[in-house]
Structure 1
Amino acid sequence: MLGGILNKKHKIKGTVVLMPKNVLDFNAITSIPDGGIGGAVGGIVGGVANVIGGVVDAATAFLGRNVSLQLISATQTHGEKGKVGKEEYLNSHLPTLPTLGARQDAFSIYFEWDVNFGIPGAFYIRNFKTDEFFLVSLTLEDIPNHGTIHFVCNSWTYLPSATPAALVKYREEELETLRGDGTGKRREFERVYDYDVYNDLGNPDGGDSRPILGGSSNYSYPRRVRTGRDRTKKDPKSETPGEVYVPRDENFGHLKSSDFLVYALKSLSQSVIPLLKSAIFELKVTSSEFKSFDDVRSLYEGGIKLPTDILSQISPLPALKEIFRTDGENTLQFPPPHVIRVSKSAWMTDDEFAREMIAGVNPNVIRRLQEFPPKSTLDPTVYGDHTSTITKEQLEINMDGVTLEEALGTNRLFILDYHDAFIPYLRMINDLPTAKAYATRTIVFLKHDGSLKPLVIELSKPHPGGDNLGAVSKALLPATEGVESTIWLLAKAHVIVNDSGYHQLISHWLYTHAVIEPFSIATNRHLSVLHPIYKLLYPHYRDTININGLARKSLINAGGIIEQAFLPGKYSMEISSVVYKNWVFTDQALPADLLKRGLAVEDPSAPHGLRLVIEDYPYAADGLEIWDAIKTWVKDYVSLYYPTDASLKQDTELQAWWKEVVEKGHGDLKDKPWWPKMQTIEDLITSCSIIIWIASALHAAVNFGQYPYGGYIVNRPTLSRRFIPEPGTKEYDEMVKDPQKAYLQTITPKYETIIDIAVIEILSRHASDEIYLWERDNPNWTTDSKAIQALKKFGSKLTEIEGRITARNSDPSLKSRHSPVDLPYTLLLRSSEEGLTFRGIPNSISI
């Protein structure tokens, strides 16, 4: 009802809905939901209480003079800022409303009304207790001459130029709070977003230093959230190891089972791994080596027997109950990986080896071979000549009568090339206690039925006389019988060890997790929660800063899980830094990536304007449909707010955001000419589309297949410990006698295998309340009906794409989807159930 003229004593009723911390806690691990950050204390549209504390009674803890609100006028000013009303306190706890979730509480509040106040457009909220809560909404009833006002965090949208004048200063002040002043140690309750280099991976004072990544020409890297911890004594540029700071808005709010998964990673690194290490190496309750492939499969079919005291320390950890299956026989057991659910041996075939290059967990490295022999991009003055030694004759043996020239001319040769990525570090890697590895090149041939078959594998080592003398290389050909078949299987294992390390460090960590964090930081620092581009991008940052912080603490740190279980060891992050120097933001768009790798050619008559060179390329075929849907959604949304290029150029927040992304967030690459200039609407559409693609579909493609393929370690080994034995040696004779034992003594041993598959099982799982591409966790994420309709259109398009992907997976003529292991390509199906599903595209990099 509309009110009339009221006296100054008239009261306006409000209803405050909040979520107490105690309903969110799981061992003090909490996160904030999309659409849930208003401006925080002192900001716009409410927010998070800016203090920290313990567990409280949700129904009563905030009554009395514990939580106050002050309305801010959007139409009447006091000086340059909107007029601020009288401070009022929560009045009473309301019975649970039908519209409230089970974890939300409603409270009444009454505001003294002044006829000269105008229309409320924001409010301050203060918490005087030491107990955190998350603010959901505020509803004001019967505002005179206006009616009801409903504040849902993040629901209102204004460009800076369209913000009510009375709220402009509050908008600016909130962003200043989020930026901080760049000094001091960040505290747990703060909401400050700032940048720093990766200077917290090593422990110089403990004798375990690592190079600082970022800020130097030698070690370029994206920036991460600044923590401001104390510096180490031995290296004043390095931070001491410890708890990682995560801005409070990033880890407080939703009861998300990914928090349980994060907790599982913490428990694994801090508790379980030391116990398993003692069980295998100290107690010797189990051999440190697998004896046969059946022995490996016992991890899933029978489990590993552990002492009762060790298992009893693992079992009570709630987050690990789904990861480690235990029973009365004191066994530790994993779920069977998808790759061996139908056939226990199909992984060994050449068809499967080649198929996983385009439909496996790392499908975006293979490229078309456009010159022969393959050449190197390494500096010849430093590394000598690294041109491939593979010959024309070696290739043509298995090319079905096609000549090399014909195959190159008809785009039928492709290469998986890890030579240049590993050679600069290979001498150092091979000096590690157990590592013995090659740098590999693998050439495959496109058959008439659309499938791929390997032709040759080149294995290279640095020249013993010095790096400047090039490489010592040998080429191996496929074989199906005798000792040659064992040698060929070992050669494929060395290729996959290269692929596994590159996948985890580059395709997964660097190209998704690490490169997205600077965009998230800059978005929070320069785009108000009221900004339309903030609303577009924020869902795609959910939990990323949180999971990246955990990775620096337990996964990619010195001595962490990655260094223990993957080939490059302590050089892992250095290698990713070298690769980052050649990262190009605009090439991350899937069409640009495919064109650059020669896997597509421009064709205006073809779908998406591209014709795939390998027609049956599941990652590309499905991905292009997802890419087009994302870009169309972004274009539809952006056009609602930017009618002209001039309107974009005049957006001060947007320009500040992009300038800082380039100059600070990715500052080591700031002078590269390929950065969009953010001067046109197309610049904005392309940039936002790339950000969303990386955070959603690209991450899904390289993450959620990790356990289905890599959970069976013989299919995707992560370590190589022996070179291929030479004739006349004891190792060669042993290989002839027992091929399986020789294979298992070459690849990842038992302890590292258990670590690896435990981690990738956690990483491959979906949370129970995962938010998938196009979904929002709050239907009131915006009040703009046209934006809501555009999002619905996006969702409908994705549903149609799911249907087409399912149809392709049912087409028996598509060999890459009907493989020897019987695994259709499902990683780019948008939706998923909870758990280990081998499908689903979350909005963000949340695990």
Structure 2
Amino acid sequence: MVQNCYRIKTPVETKPPAPEQTDSSPRQSHLAAGAVKEAKRLQQGKIKGTVVLMTKNILDSNNLNLEDKAEDDLGQFLGGAVSLQLISAQNADPGNGLGKLGEAASLEEFVTTLPTLLEGQDAFSVQFDYTHDFGVPGAFVIRNNLPDEFYLVSLTLDDIPNHGSVHYVCNSWIYPANRYSSDRIFFANKAYVPSKTPPALVKYREQELITLRGDGFSELVEHDRVYDYATYNDLGWPDFGESLARPTLGGSSEYPYPRRGRTSRPPSESDPNTESKLHPGVEHLDIYVPRDERFGHPNCSDFLAYFLKLISEDLKPLLEETFNFTSDDFDSFDEVDQLYEGFELPPDVLQNIQKKIPTPMLAELFQTNDELDLIYPLSYPTPKVIIENKSGWMTDEEFAREMLAGVNPGVIRALQELPLNSKLDIRAYGDQTSKITKEQLEQNMGGVTVDEALQHTRLFILDYHDAFMPYLRKINETLKKGYATRTILFLKEDGTLKPLAIELSLPHPDGDECGFISRVVLPADQGVEGTIWLLAKAYVTVNDSGYHQLVSHWLQTHAVIEPFIIAANRQLSVLHPIHKLLYPHFRDTMNINAIARQALLDANGIIEWSFLHGQYWIEMSSKVYKNWVFPDQALPKDLIKRGMAVEDPECPYGLRLVIEDYPFAVDGLEIWAAINTWVYDYVHCYYDSNEDVQQDSELQAWWKEIVEVGHGDLKDQPWWFKMQTRAELVEACTVIIWTSSALHAAVNFGQYPYGGYILNRPTVSRRLLPEDGTPEYEVLKENPEKAFLNTVTPKLMILLHLSVIEILSRHASDEVYLGTRDNPNWTCDVKPLEAFKKFGKRLEEIEKTVIERNNTETLRNRIGPVKMHYTLLYPTSGEGLTCRGIPNSISI
């Protein structure tokens, strides 16, 4: 805990004792003059400070070796090259009302004994002149007179008279001073709502927000810090052909979508409504995001960007030359298993890879020998889902369990009625009512009737019919072939789910308006019917994989959070308590989203190419967003909405889960409640009443901009909070933090542990179920493994897909996890620090509880046939591919 927090406090002037008035001798006059001089000396002096920064070369994605830093590089910071001026929080200049500026001070020498220095950081001492009439510093100005930028981590001032220490948490890139139109200013770590800001800092606070908003039209360049909005009109490549054009997401009733950050790139040559993109072959993905959104730490997303670019622009074309979409399939499941021992590529491909792909990226993709300059096979770690049991993924129990404890556990819902109805427009798609019958379901329900099961909430559904049906006709005209699926499951007495039927649906051959045709497949484990059942489950998983990646993962975490980030930086000062609360949960998100738009989500990019929905993900994602409801993103409301829980004041958190052993929900509710309590405690430190919320000008501007601009396509929805009460503020902030941390962790860091074994989570299907009498049906009978492999994701896609999801599933070494901060001095306010400490301890308790649950044998959904515990909501993790850990933010 910070003991010497920043407080506005008038310094006590030191006065000498009054001399005795006995006579006026010269000696006594001299003594009196000396006393006055001593008093002035005591009222003046030096304030010592420590500046922590990182040099540009340390953070350069092409120079990740921290040992390369030279003393000469650091020496340039001394001798006046970097200067700082303190700003008084108490005393303003009468001429302009701005806090009084102190004298400029320069960095003086290296500090080598600072125990808190992290890898790559350097510390310098600085001394500021101090006079009695300056008061307590509330901010400082920094000027960089060097030719290059550096990353400023923090400034700490020690021993301010009658006060103590003051901390400034900066975390910002500082470019040469001539690049800026206004001074770079940083504020001390004290939070203020606007009305309580010290008068000397008010104008500085307002000017900083004006700078961050920009003017809305100027070209944005690297050193800019401007946050502004744009639609998703940057996904297509129309200059490369009509087939690569894509519609704009956002700004229309046809394709509503959240806003992204504005980059100010010019329109493409062939379509003025599409923003131009960085062309393939550009060395770096220099997509504009506000400069401080690009990490100031060595494990930065520039490295990730470069790696994804390498896969999409270099490795993909080389492998496409070797494999095609319908040939070179794996011949057996054993051959797929060999991927994790090292996959041999043809010699000519290896030679081309050596020529085109630079180091150090080779080591990330291949086993290498630096001395011999050789590349060995593509190498992938063994996915967790097959480490203990290689065939467990094939079981019905594991297929169902992953709907509750897999990488996409938030879609399954309780079945309310039968037959299943559709929400598709009957005028466009005809009658889409499911053809699954009660009689088909009751064959495997052990004597329980459908009506009884519905009454006791024992039937559940994973329903992708409406999501995929509108696009299947077009999808199936390509080399991809798939179904729209409905899967019904039954809750057994032991708490596990049992699949009862899978409906595989296709558009009607006579036209969409005529409805659909379908085949209902029932469970089987022998012969041809057993293989057909295994394929039916694969078609379901193909739907689930695509929906997970573009809706559950991209849309419902990455995309929906970006407008909150933009609005917070435009409308909430860094001094604002809500800015301080949310800031760690926004780290790196805008940058990773920009990288995704360029290297993953773009036309014919890795995502379009390697998932069933292809280019139609844009429309599918937009239609889901049209029905997005912000308050329903709260986990308790989401569970109730899906029928997976009912309100019950007698149960923990006021909810009773209808499936008691639902790992995502059980662990998630504890995390949700911990976040909610922390936010409640924090908000009540700064807002004494609902009126305080209503009168907070920055807070109201932030929320108004989120509703009307950031999520402006939904601005007329009645469900938006009015932001008039502390309860609304607490709920809104809890949803934002939950989405950015725990929800994203739950849908992201299991991608490789579950999906790295492509047979468990195929992303594409290329054949429909064969008809009896066809050659494909004979293969189905004689070689079931070959038939399965000929249907699901092909070899080329597997190699590239695994390369991508392995990266996306890893934690960096400097990851900051929920309940922790990267700087302990993030605030000096005592009550919030105490509440945050309590939050961290609660998360430690939750992790211990979850570990205990995972070791409870009766909770079968927590481990399943694959012997893989549900660990995705463990709060902590180490570096790498761990399948656990909740980072503060969407950082990958």
Determine if the TM-score, normalized by the shorter chain, exceeds 0.5. Answer: yes
Alpha-carbon distance between aligned partners in 1 of 2:585 and 2:303, rounded to the nearest angstrom:
20
Tell me by how many angstroms 1:87 deviates.
Answer: 5.0
Q: Secondary structure at the match of 2:75?
A: coil
Instruction: Out of 176-185 and 6-15, give the one that drifted further.
Output: 6-15
Alpha-carbon distance between aligned partners in 1 of 2:89 and 2:443, rounded to the nearest angstrom:
78
Q: Secondary structure at the match of 2:297?
A: coil
Question: Within 5 A, what are the aligned runs for 1:727-746?
Answer: 727-746=772-791
Paired position in structure 2 for 1:325: 367
Q: Are the aligned partners of 1:142 and 1:148 in contact in 2 as well (CA < 8 Å)? A: yes
Q: Are the aligned partners of 2:571 and 2:699 in contact in 1 as well (CA < 8 Å)? A: yes
Tell me by how many angstroms 1:254 deviates.
Answer: 2.0
Q: Deviations over 1:534-570 (max 9, x none)?
A: 1111111111011001000101011111011111111
Q: Are the aligned partners of 2:191 and 2:827 in contact in 1 as well (CA < 8 Å)? A: yes
Change (3 A) 1:809 1:134: same
Letter in 2 for 1:88: A
Letter in 2 for 1:318: P
Instruction: Out of 561-570 and 733-742, give the one that drifted further.
Output: 733-742
Alpha-carbon distance between aligned partners in 1 of 2:13 and 2:316, rounded to the nearest angstrom:
66
Moved over 6 A (4+): none
Change (3 A) 1:288 1:794: same
Paired position in structure 2 for 1:358: 404
Tell me by how many angstroms 1:295 deviates.
Answer: 1.3
Tell me by how many angstroms 1:259 deviates.
Answer: 5.2
Alpha-carbon distance between aligned partners in 1 of 2:273 and 2:122, rounded to the nearest angstrom:
47
Question: Within 5 A, what are the aligned runs for 1:3-152?
Answer: 4=14, 5-6=39-40, 12-22=46-56, 24-27=58-61, 57-78=72-93, 79-85=95-101, 87-101=103-117, 102-141=119-158, 143=160, 146=163, 148-152=165-169
Paired position in structure 2 for 1:673: 718
Q: Secondary structure at the match of 1:682?
A: helix
Alpha-carbon distance between aligned partners in 2 of 1:605 and 1:86, rounded to the nearest angstrom:
61
Structure 1 segments unaligned to the other structure (5+ residues) = 31-53
Q: Are the aligned partners of 1:12 and 1:141 in contact in 2 as well (CA < 8 Å)? A: no
Counterpart of 2:487 (choices 442, 455, 466) is 442
Tell me by how many angstroms 1:144 deviates.
Answer: 5.2
Structure 2 segments unaligned to the other structure (5+ residues) = 1-10, 15-38, 171-187, 279-285
Tell me by how many angstroms 1:240 deviates.
Answer: 0.3
In the alignment, structure 1 residue 233 sits paired with structure 2 residue 276:
no
Paired position in structure 1 for 2:329: 289
Paired position in structure 2 for 1:197: 231
Letter in 1 for 2:217: T
Counterpart of 1:530 (choices 566, 572, 575) is 575
In the alignment, structure 1 residue 401 sits paired with structure 2 residue 447:
yes
Counterpart of 1:312 (choices 354, 372, 375) is 354
Alpha-carbon distance between aligned partners in 2 of 1:199 and 1:29, rounded to the nearest angstrom:
33
Tell me by how many angstroms 1:22 deviates.
Answer: 3.1
In the alignment, structure 1 residue 166 sits paired with structure 2 residue 200:
yes
Paired position in structure 2 for 1:588: 633
Tell me by how many angstroms 1:57 deviates.
Answer: 4.0
> Aligned Cα RMSD in Å?
2.3
Alpha-carbon distance between aligned partners in 2 of 1:91 and 1:840, rounded to the nearest angstrom:
39
Alpha-carbon distance between aligned partners in 2 of 1:407 and 1:99, rounded to the nearest angstrom:
62
In the alignment, structure 1 residue 411 sits paired with structure 2 residue 457:
yes
Change (3 A) 1:169 1:442: same
Paired position in structure 2 for 1:35: none
Letter in 2 for 1:444: L
Question: Within 5 A, what are the aligned runs for 1:443-458?
Answer: 443-458=488-503
Counterpart of 2:317 (choices 274, 286, 293) is 274
In the alignment, structure 1 residue 178 sits paired with structure 2 residue 212:
yes
Q: Are the aligned partners of 1:600 and 1:611 in contact in 2 as well (CA < 8 Å)? A: yes
Q: Secondary structure at the match of 2:98?
A: strand
Alpha-carbon distance between aligned partners in 1 of 2:442 and 2:424, rounded to the nearest angstrom:
28
Tell me by how many angstroms 1:292 deviates.
Answer: 1.0
Change (3 A) 1:409 1:320: farther
Q: Secondary structure at the match of 2:562?
A: helix
Q: Are the aligned partners of 1:339 and 1:821 in contact in 2 as well (CA < 8 Å)? A: yes
Question: Within 5 A, what are the aligned runs for 1:381-530?
Answer: 381-432=427-478, 434-530=479-575
Tell me by how many angstroms 1:13 deviates.
Answer: 3.9
Q: Are the aligned partners of 1:2 and 1:147 in contact in 2 as well (CA < 8 Å)? A: no
In the alignment, structure 1 residue 222 sits paired with structure 2 residue 267:
no
Paired position in structure 2 for 1:187: 221
Tell me by how many angstroms 1:386 deviates.
Answer: 0.3
Change (3 A) 1:767 1:140: closer
Letter in 1 for 2:106: L
Q: Are the aligned partners of 1:258 and 1:766 in contact in 2 as well (CA < 8 Å)? A: no
Change (3 A) 1:228 1:152: closer
Alpha-carbon distance between aligned partners in 2 of 1:367 and 1:666, rounded to the nearest angstrom:
27
Paired position in structure 2 for 1:247: 290
Normalising by the residue count of structure 1, what TM-score does the alignment of the two structures yield? 0.93
Change (3 A) 1:475 1:62: same
Alpha-carbon distance between aligned partners in 2 of 1:259 and 1:835, rounded to the nearest angstrom:
18
Q: Are the aligned partners of 1:198 and 1:214 in contact in 2 as well (CA < 8 Å)? A: yes
Q: Are the aligned partners of 2:54 and 2:121 in contact in 1 as well (CA < 8 Å)? A: yes
Tell me by how many angstroms 1:83 deviates.
Answer: 3.8
Letter in 1 for 2:113: L
Instruction: Out of 304-313 and 730-739, give the one that drifted further.
Output: 304-313
Normalising by the residue count of structure 2, what TM-score does the alignment of the two structures yield? 0.89
Tell me by how many angstroms 1:117 deviates.
Answer: 3.5
Q: Are the aligned partners of 1:512 and 1:695 in contact in 2 as well (CA < 8 Å)? A: yes
Tell me by how many angstroms 1:323 deviates.
Answer: 4.6
Q: Are the aligned partners of 1:80 and 1:169 in contact in 2 as well (CA < 8 Å)? A: no
Tell me by how many angstroms 1:729 deviates.
Answer: 1.4
Change (3 A) 1:326 1:150: closer
Instruction: Out of 632-641 and 728-737, give the one that drifted further.
Output: 728-737
Tell me by how many angstroms 1:807 deviates.
Answer: 1.1
Instruction: Out of 787-796 and 244-253, give the one that drifted further.
Output: 244-253
Alpha-carbon distance between aligned partners in 2 of 1:29 and 1:719, rounded to the nearest angstrom:
38
Tell me by how many angstroms 1:821 deviates.
Answer: 0.7
Instruction: Out of 356-365 and 9-18, give the one that drifted further.
Output: 9-18
Tell me by how many angstroms 1:660 deviates.
Answer: 0.5
Tell me by how many angstroms 1:159 deviates.
Answer: 1.2
Alpha-carbon distance between aligned partners in 1 of 2:820 and 2:356, rounded to the nearest angstrom:
36
Change (3 A) 1:150 1:450: closer
Higher Rg of the two aligned structures:
2
Q: Deviations over 1:55-112 (max 9, x none)?
A: 9944211223422222222222224532443552415223413335153333344444
Tell me by how many angstroms 1:727 deviates.
Answer: 0.8
Paired position in structure 2 for 1:841: 886
Tell me by how many angstroms 1:281 deviates.
Answer: 5.2
Q: Are the aligned partners of 1:72 and 1:84 in contact in 2 as well (CA < 8 Å)? A: yes
Alpha-carbon distance between aligned partners in 1 of 2:666 and 2:158, rounded to the nearest angstrom:
52
Alpha-carbon distance between aligned partners in 1 of 2:150 and 2:540, rounded to the nearest angstrom:
51
In the alignment, structure 1 residue 609 sits paired with structure 2 residue 654:
yes
Q: Secondary structure at the match of 1:81?
A: coil
Q: Are the aligned partners of 1:24 and 1:253 in contact in 2 as well (CA < 8 Å)? A: no
Alpha-carbon distance between aligned partners in 1 of 2:71 and 2:276, rounded to the nearest angstrom:
34
Q: Are the aligned partners of 2:610 and 2:797 in contact in 1 as well (CA < 8 Å)? A: yes
Alpha-carbon distance between aligned partners in 1 of 2:70 and 2:210, rounded to the nearest angstrom:
31
Instruction: Out of 543-552 and 238-247, give the one that drifted further.
Output: 238-247
% identical equivalent positions: 59
Counterpart of 1:777 (choices 822, 825, 829) is 822
Q: Are the aligned partners of 1:435 and 1:722 in contact in 2 as well (CA < 8 Å)? A: yes
